[in-house]
Amino acid sequence: MSNVAVIGAQWGDEGKGKIVDWLSERAEVVVRFQGGHNAGHTLVIGNTTYKLALLPSGVVRPGKLSIIGSGVVVDPWAFLDEIGRVAKQGLILKPGDLLLSETACLILPVHRLIDQAREAARGDGKIGTTGRGIGPAYEDKVGRRAVRVADLAESETLKAKSAYLADYHNAYLRGLGEAEIDPDELLAALLEIAPKILPFAGRVWDQLDKAVVAGKRILFEGAQAVMLDVDHGTYPYVTSSNTVAGQAATGSGIGPTSIGYVLGIAKAYTTRVGAGPFPTELTDETGNLLGERGHEFGTNTGRKRRCGWFDAVMVRQAIKTGGINGIALTKLDVLDGFETLRVCTGYKLDGAVIDHYPAGQAAQTRVEPIYEDLEGWSDSTYGARSWAQLPAQAIKYIRRIEELIEAPVALLSTSPEREDTILVKDPFAGRP
């Protein structure tokens, strides 16, 4: 059997939570490998809805080892808060159930201050961050000044790093007219929380190596999506980490040969949160209808998502750069009742037809979608669990998407309920 990496194939919010939960029942280890607590996953288990941000989706399944890898930036206060929140729903997480990489970097209060101050200073040029300090934390990581989980066990290391971070960041805060941070207060806060975090810390690479040797199924859970990748997305309107499948290896501490099947998640239409280019965006009643039917609001932020038609050009590019073997297509039922559906098959840029998403920031805002119109369907697809339960036109829509994105649909989701899933190709069986 193969290990599986799950990544988003659009701009995030594709429904990864449900798909990861659906797959996690068959996995023995579930790993988060990048991002921070800005990525929300909603899981519906029976009559209980879990809204996760930092915790891997596998935590809702008893008997699974859930891991937060070194590629994740961790707000330790948000980490404990989320553990406490799910505990109120009856989900008690202990160190033996949840492992936090000792080499993961921490999000500190100063990172949130900088994130929010920077966005305010940008004015109309805002990137659209969640203001939770993700970007500044990654900046400190690559700048080799971050506080890591393992540092929490070394008071002298914390003292030195707190002083250095205060010196480094206060110059910037001072320039923006913001309040400066006190290194002693930062040190005291870290020393206070350290005993609560360290019991969860450990050698993730070692645990994963043992799992591979034992032949256990590992599920690698990505956050955000390929088109938000800091290298391959719509830069600068991207997240601060790599979201492609290659990061599953780097961000967890396992060799790339141990990752078998890469499953991309894509909605049957397109959404985006925050600023940035969006060629197929609909600002009319159709866009509002997609948002209402799809309940398009951020799990963690509550922000309204922008909606538009399916963009096959963008998803095809995400498949190639993300290393995706097959797609889980979600929210097909949102398209029920539309007389005509549109799919973007190409772009026009300054009069020329192109078949890719341009890299230039200005060019990305100028591309115009080229649409192909497809016949919609009137029957409901909600809750369908087999191809036989789908209208003929819905199947034609899916087949046409497969042709355009040059990848097969491996799973089809027809409602938030985990059982309402049509399995076409088992990702754990490996690549074809």
For residue 289 the two structure tokens come to 């209808």
The amino acid sitting at 249 is: A
Q: Cα(338)–Cα(293) distance, rounded to whole angstroms?
A: 12
Which DSSP category does 107 fall into?
A: P
pLDDT interval class at 423 (50, 70, 90): very high
**Cα–Cα distance between 39 and 217 in angstroms, integer?**
24
Taking residue 95's Cβ as centre, other Cβ atoms within 10 Å add up to 12
Q: Mean pLDDT across the stretch 120-149?
A: 86
Which residue bears the tokens 């020329």? 352
Question: Residue 24 CB: number of other CB atoms within 10 A?
Answer: 26
Taking 80 as the threshold, does the pLDDT of residue 122 lie above it?
Answer: no
Better-scored residue on pLDDT, 83 or 2: 83
Write down the pTM of the prediction.
0.92
Strand partners, 341: 374
Whether residue 119 is predicted with pLDDT greater than 90 in this model: the reply is no
Estimate the crossing angle of helix 312-322 against helix 392-405, to 10 degrees: 50
The residue-averaged pLDDT of 51-58 equals 89
Amino acid at 64: K
Span 187-201, average pLDDT: 98
Question: What are the residues whose beta carbons fall under 8 Å from the beta carbon of 58, sequence distance 6 or more?
Answer: 20, 24, 27, 29, 30, 64, 65, 66, 219, 221
Using alpha carbons, select from 186, 175, 180, 39 the residue that is nearest to residue 118: 175
Predicted pLDDT at 25: 87
Q: Is 313 helix (H, G, I), strand (E, B) or coil?
A: helix
* pLDDT over 90 (residue 67): yes
Output 418 or 141, whichever has higher pLDDT. 141
Residue-averaged pLDDT of the chain: 93
**pLDDT given at position 233:** 96
For residue 368, what are the CA distances in angstroms to 150, 309, 343, 371?
49, 13, 13, 10
- Residues 6-22: tens digit of each pLDDT: 999 999 989 888 898 88
Give the confidence band of 49 by pLDDT, cuts at 50, 70, 90: confident
Question: Please, which residues have CB within 8 angstroms of residue 176's CB and are 6 or more apart in sequence?
Answer: 117, 118, 121
Joined tokens for residue 339: 């007389």
Tokens of 377: 């369907």
> For residue 36, what are its two tokens?
């921070």
Whole-number pLDDT of residue 1: 60
Structure tokens that stand for 239 in this block: 């997240």
- Predicted confidence at residue 301, as pLDDT, reads 60
Residue linked to tokens 């492992």: 99
Residues 2-13, buried b or exposed e (16+ Cβ, 10 A)? bbbbbbbbbbbb
CA angle at 70 for the pair 221 and 98, rounded to the nearest 5°: 65
Q: How far, in Å, CA of 39 to CA of 401, rounded?
A: 27
Does residue 200 carry a pLDDT above 90? Answer: yes
pLDDT tens digit sequence for 223-251:
899 999 999 999 999 999 999 999 999 99
Within 10 angstroms of residue 143's Cβ, the number of other Cβ atoms is 10
On the question of pLDDT at 215 being above 80, the answer is yes
Q: Which residue in 41, 111, 169, 232 is the catalytic one?
A: 41
Output the CA–CA distances (angstroms, integers) from residue 32 to 92, 104, 399, in the order listed: 19, 11, 31
- Pairing outcome for strands 48-52 and 310-311: unpaired
What's the pLDDT tens digit per position in 268-302?
Answer: 999 998 889 999 999 999 999 999 999 898 655 66
Place of tokens 């007389």: 339
Confidence of residue 46 (pLDDT cuts 50, 70, 90): confident
**Predicted local distance difference test score (pLDDT) of residue 377:** 97
The catalytically annotated residue of 13, 75, 115, 229 is 13
Q: Is 41 a catalytic residue?
A: yes
Most confident of 90-99, 177-186, 250-259, 306-315: 306-315
Q: Residue 141: exposed, middle, or buried by beta-carbon count in 10 A (0-12, 13-18, 19+)?
A: buried
101 - beta bridge partners? 202
Interval 181-202 mean pLDDT: 97
End-to-end CA distance of the chain: 12
Beta strand 29-32 with 65-68: parallel, antiparallel or unpaired? parallel
Instruction: Look at residue 279 in the predicted model and tell me its pLDDT.
Output: 97
Max CA pair span of the chain: 67
What tokens were used for 372?
A: 């192909």
The reported pLDDT for the residue numbered 120 is 78
- Determine what percent of the chain is predicted with pLDDT higher than 90: 78
